[in-house]
Amino acid sequence: MFFSFSISTPASTLDPTPKVTVLPLDSGQIRRLIISFPPGPAGLLHLELYHVGHKLWPTNPDELFNFDGTSFAWEEQLDFLEPPYELLAYTYNLDDTFAHDVDVGIEILEPDKLATQAGLATGLLSFLRLVFGR
């Protein structure tokens, strides 16, 4: 499954009162994230992603994503099997004139496919042990 969200943040949305956007998801394993900052915010739009009060991304606690005209993606293997099945996007816009957007894409592997992959990996490991005697 792939989820896509576009978040528009009004001008002068400053710390300590970010815009909080709920990103509803489904159960599974978060496998990939894509963040896209269209051209325009000049580094004034900031984003961080949370789950149940815990900051997940960016990983370093004192930083936020803030780019201009940049998209980036990374692989994850984060089990997302207990509710609430949602992330919270905290956005700040330091621009005092214009609203700015950021797009967030999240790929989730469904629990049944996750179990199938785990079964295949276990079967392959058993086969290799049988063949190579380890």
The pLDDT, as a whole number, for residue 15 is 86
The pLDDT, as a whole number, for residue 111 is 87
Q: Which amino acid is at 31?
A: R
Q: Which of 7-11, 73-77, 110-114, 122-126 has the lowest mean pLDDT?
A: 122-126
Q: What is the per-residue DSSP string for 24-93?
A: E--SEEEEEEEEEE-SSSTT-EEEEEEETTEEEESSSTT--B--SSEEEEEEEEEEE-SS--EEEEEEEE
pTM of the model: 0.84
C-alpha 58/C-alpha 64 separation (Å) is: 6
C-alpha 120/C-alpha 79 separation (Å) is: 18
What domains, with CATH codes, occur in the chain? 2-132 (2.60.120)
Q: Which of 78-82, 92-96, 119-123, 127-131 has the lowest mean pLDDT?
A: 119-123
Distance of CA 56 to the CA centre of its chain: 8
C-alpha 73/C-alpha 81 separation (Å) is: 22
